[in-house]
Structure 1
Amino acid sequence: MKDLQEQDKQELVQQERGIFNSPLQRRSFLQFAGASAAGIALIAAGCKKDHGTDMPVISGGVTLDFKDDFGVLNYAYALEQLEAAFYIQVASNPPSGFSTIERAYFQDIQFHEIAHREFFKNALSTAAVGSLAVDFSSINFSDRLSVLNAAKAFEDLGVAAYNGAGVRIKSDTYLGLAGKIVSVEARHAAYIRDLITPGSFAASDVIDANGLDQALTPDKVIAAAQKFVKTKINIINL
């Protein structure tokens, strides 16, 4: 496994652009989240047929319209953009305090998040919201603990977001795919939590007395995520 610290950032950008032609053939969404080709085709066909370019627009940002399943898919796409951007930055220049195995695992997580992001982007096609401009100024990327705490925040938020969005998904196909993605995100969260505090992978701040993971509504998730996003994210029909 190559050490991304030795790679030029431009090379990483080029790698990202060709994500389904080279690196993610080995680390594809199909491999890690288990979605079937038929399921992906269903989403892609549905989005293109029913929505096209009619996504409502509010001046000054992107709009998530929760009137149907496609709004939920765009919601997931926005969150995956944020996570992918974070892990790309970490993997391209990991903190000096990272061990060799931590660098390797964060590189793998990076590929997972890019795969998730590209999956939604391609499935939504012209119905997809635009690219988000991120703001990671509050994160010290040279400090191991700062990076781990940020990763924990993103992963916990992502899991809670998928859990909270499930009740809004009408299609069984979409719900099944979301369940496969959130299981991957939960694996990330458990790993990162244990790096910070061993044994905290299922701590009481995320798992309740009934053994259930936390779930957050989209408005709460977006409010928390907006700190790391320059682009204004608008929500309608929630």
Structure 2
Amino acid sequence: MTESEQLLDALDARVERRNHRRDFFKTAIGAAAAGVTAFSLTSKAGAQSTITDADILNFALNLEYLEAQFYAFAANGTGLASSQLTGTGTQGAVTGGKQVTFTDPVVASYAREIAADEAAHVAFLRTALGSSAVAQPAINISGDANGAFTAAARAAGVVGANGTFDPYASDENFLLGAYIFEDVGVTAYKGASPLVSNKTFLQAAAGILAVEAYHAAIVRGTLYAKGIQTPALITAAGQISDARDSLDGSSDLDQGIAAQTINGQTVSNIVPLDTNGIAYSRSPAQVLNIVYLNRASVTLGGFFPAGVNGTLRASAAN
């Protein structure tokens, strides 16, 4: 057997191990967040031809609001400036969010850096969109019993049915909270890039994608390193990965961080990719399935309790 064949066999085995857990997550996550029925733009033939560059950038802006507010509160104890929240659509408030009392100075430094990057992404997209920029929608980043983080953690099995997950309680919880978002951001930008027609906007989106990939690698790599001493972290990351995978449809688009054996060697899994070494893509509807915490076609839920602003608002039934 060649090395390439051994690599493919190892990857196939990894997929098979994850697949048998999906039925559980498909049932659990369906009950994690309620929403109203709506059609998915991406589910109708030809619908993508009606999507403009502004629609794509505004979709990205909604996600950047979410990430920027989470990191801003976790790193600095305060959210984005009010001047960065206005725009078209219904402006909403942030529920939850507080500063993490970091014990690891490296994690604290990462948090501050990523917080600054995400705030810069919000500012950049708002400038690029001008008067077309959407307002920040209502965002739930609470770590209490009714928060979106707890709903996600319960559905994934990270905590029990009555448990609470607070991403601000420790360095490790913060990393797991960040892990929920980061891989999604990478796949969202990659999936949206073919829909952008303006080359200037496309170049900007590619630049943001690269930064999000750096962030994801930092989070995944730090979790992996800490998981060597605390294996429960690697298990929790795998559960979150499986939960995301069950939300976005039948395709296998996600990977945890557990070590793999390839060609007889133990290797890390910092970078989630396909057998060609290429990162996965998600459609806007698939991304909304994850952030709404719902496998149905809905227009709100989870981290966006009133939905996102803009044209691309509906998740997909799967």
**The two structures share one fold, judged by TM-score above 0.5:** yes
Alpha-carbon shift at residue 176 of structure 1 (Å):
1.0
Deviations 1:86-108 (A, max 9, x none): 00111025434541121122101
Query: Who is 1:87 aligned against?
Result: 71
Query: Which stretch has the larger CA shift, 94-103 or 210-219?
Result: 94-103
The alpha carbon displacement at 1:144 in A equals 2.5
Counterpart position of 2:205: 178
What's 1:190 paired with?
Answer: 217
Higher helix share: 1
1:122 to 109, 119, 127: 127
What is the CA–CA distance in structure 2 between the aligned matches of 1:236 and 1:131, rounded to whole Å? 13
Equivalent residue in structure 2 for 1:103, among 108, 112, 115: 108
1:158: how far off?
0.3
**2:194 counterpart residue number:** 167
Secondary structure class of the residue paired with 1:197: helix
Q: Which has the larger radius of gyration?
A: 2
Q: 2:282 aligns with which of 195, 210, 216?
A: 216
Measure the CA separation in 2 of the matches of 1:237 and 1:135: 18
CA distance in structure 2 between the partners assigned to 1:69 and 1:95 by the alignment: 36
1:120-150 residue CA offsets vs partner (Å, 9 max, x unmatched): 1122121111212211222511132221111
**2:307 aligned with 1:232:** yes
* Equivalent position of 2:57 in the other structure: 73
Partner of 1:28: none
Whole-angstrom distance in 2 between the partners of 1:156 and 1:191: 11
- Residue type of the alignment partner of 1:131: Q
Match of residue 272 from structure 2:
206
Q: Give the Cα–Cα distance (whole angstroms) in 1 for the partners of residues 173 and 207 of structure 2.
A: 29
Which ranges in structure 1 are unaligned for 5 or more consecutive residues? 1-63
Assess, with a 3 A threshold, how the Cα gap between structure 1 residues 124 and 159 changes in structure 2: closer, same or farther.
same
Report the equivalent of 1:131: 136
Tell me the CA shift for residue 174 of structure 1.
Answer: 1.1
Farther off after superposition, 217-226 or 200-209: 200-209
* TM-score between the two structures when normalised by the length of structure 2: 0.51
Contact kept in structure 1, 2:138 and 2:304, CA below 8 Å: yes
Offset of residue 236 of structure 1: 6.7
Extract unaligned runs of 5+ from structure 2.
Answer: 1-40, 42-47, 78-98, 142-146, 150-164, 229-256, 259-267, 293-301
* C-alpha distance in structure 2 between counterparts of 1:205 and 1:107, whole Å: 22
Contact 1:67 1:237 in 2 (8 A): no
Contact 2:217/2:271 (8 A) holds in 1: no
In the superposition, the TM-score normalised over structure 1's length comes to 0.66
Contact kept, 8 Å, 1:135 with 1:229, in 2: the verdict is yes
Aligned length, in residue pairs? 175
Tell whether the 8 Å contact from 2:59 to 2:312 is kept in structure 1 after alignment: no
Task: Give the superposition deviation at 1:223.
Answer: 1.9
In structure 2, C-alpha distance between the alignment counterparts of 1:182 and 1:208, rounded to whole Å: 17
Q: 1:126 to 1:103 in 2, by over 3 A?
A: same
Question: Which letter maps to 2:277?
Answer: G
Letter in 2 for 1:215: S
Structure 1 window deviating more from structure 2 (130-139 vs 216-225): it is: 130-139
Matched residues, percent identical? 30
Name the counterpart of 1:113: 118
Deviation sequence 1:61-96 (CA, Å, 0-9, x none): xxx996211100101111100000100111025434
Match of 1:47 in 2: none
